[in-house]
Amino acid sequence: MDLAYTEEEEAFRARLRDWLAGVLPKLPPKPDPLDWPARRAYDCGWQRALYEAGYAEVHWDASPTRRLIFLEETERAGAPYVGANFVGLLHAGPTIAAEGTAEQRERWLPPVLRGDEVWCQGFSEPEAGSDLASLRTRAVRDGDAYVVTGSKIWTSHAEVADWCELLVRTDAGAASKHRGITWLAMPMDAPGITVRPLRTLAGSTEFAEMFLDEVRVPVENRVGEENDGWRVTMVTLSFERGTAFVGEVVACRRVLGQLAHEARKNGRWDDPAVRRRLGRLSAEFRALWRLTQWNVSEAEATGGVPGTGGSVFKLHYSHARQELYDAAAAVLGPDALDLGREWNLDRLSSLSYTIAAGTSQIQRNIVAERILGLPKGR
């Protein structure tokens, strides 16, 4: 049980902190959250800056502990969020790093690190959400390409993506639905792709529907073997649930501090119920940070892909995040109805946390079946 960082890790932290202090004040103002092209440009600009300063690789090449320090420091300093680069940096990239060939890593990873290429995730379909393995978008081999037809839904950032991590069915007659799936990298400018933005309850076009009409995807874009895509998918999901939210815990702790400040200013701090609610959340988010350090220690010891511990974290975190922004509303009082006020848009978007990346019900199934060993339900 050791929470102390090594000298080398602390030196990394200090360097990063210095660099952030120099660069953050010079950043251009944040773009309008509804303007996706502007957001893409902003997020990629930030990624480029990280790349040039030598910090981009931390997601894949450095030790999990360095990654933890990176996320902790960038969030603490209030640096821009990964944003449009979420999929590329936090789960498609790590999947390719873990499962791709040398050529594939060479082709796809550097542009993500440089902020040149943005990825999206084409997993869900209208009839395949929680039951992801029942997906129907099919791919038929034609020479050196797969010809893909079907549709995807809830594809975040599809509007501005260059690549899509796409799940397709390559063997409709497989003995089990999990067996006939393949993981492809699909170029978003290929003919036959139509993206139709969907409006979220927050008013933004965060995600989109995608229609795929005989889209040709080169066979060399397949990550893993044909029909072995479910295994690759599990790797992707373990990153998505295991490590993708790490930085956000720090962000939530920062918000909590801001809320306490606001409450002291507007008088709500005098209400013990409000005070205690914030105090409780502070204990929760600190514990979640400690749980992250625990999971990272495990990952560091076992090397690589995060385990099912990510589901334990994701379950608790997604609910705590919603409670945080409800507490923000309690602090704001009537101002909670003003969408122009800080935190209110975040409150709306926090509603997605118990759904996206696997609903809480699905996470509970995973914890019960894969960690506790209870029988699988049908």
Residue 267's region, left for phi above 0, alpha for psi from -120 to 50, else beta, is: left
State which residue, 295 or 318, has the beta carbon closest to ligand FAD.
318
373 binds, among ligand FAD, another protein, none (CB under 5 to 8 A by kind): another protein
Looking at the annotation, which residues are catalytic?
Answer: 240
Per CB under 6 A, contacts with ligand FAD among 300-329 are none
227 binds, among ligand FAD, another protein, none (CB under 5 to 8 A by kind): none
Per CB under 8 A, contacts with another protein among 283-342 are 283-284, 286-288, 290-291, 293-294, 296-298, 300-301, 309, 312, 315-316
The count of other CB atoms within 10 Å of the CB of residue 3 is 7
Which class for 198: exposed (0-12), middle (13-18), buried (19 or more C-beta within 10 A)? middle
Number of residues near another protein (by CB under 8 A): 53
- Please report where in the chains the tokens 């076992």 appear, as a residue: 302
CA distances from 70 to 11, 73, 178, 271, 334 (A): 12, 5, 36, 37, 37
- Please report where in the chains the tokens 């390719």 appear, as a residue: 96
State which residue, 311 or 352, has the beta carbon closest to ligand FAD.
352
Q: Is 121 in the site for ligand FAD (CB under 6 A)?
A: yes
> 190: which 2 tokens?
């290929």
> 80: which 2 tokens?
């821009």
Which class for 104: exposed (0-12), middle (13-18), buried (19 or more C-beta within 10 A)? middle
Q: Is 156 in the site for ligand FAD (CB under 6 A)?
A: yes
Number of residues near ligand FAD (by CB under 6 A): 19
Residues that bind ligand FAD (CB under 6 A): 120-124, 129-130, 154-156, 206-207, 352, 355-356, 358-359, 361-362
Residues that bind another protein (CB under 8 A): 1-6, 9, 65, 68, 256-257, 259-260, 272, 275-280, 282-284, 286-288, 290-291, 293-294, 296-298, 300-301, 309, 312, 315-316, 361, 363-365, 367-369, 371-377
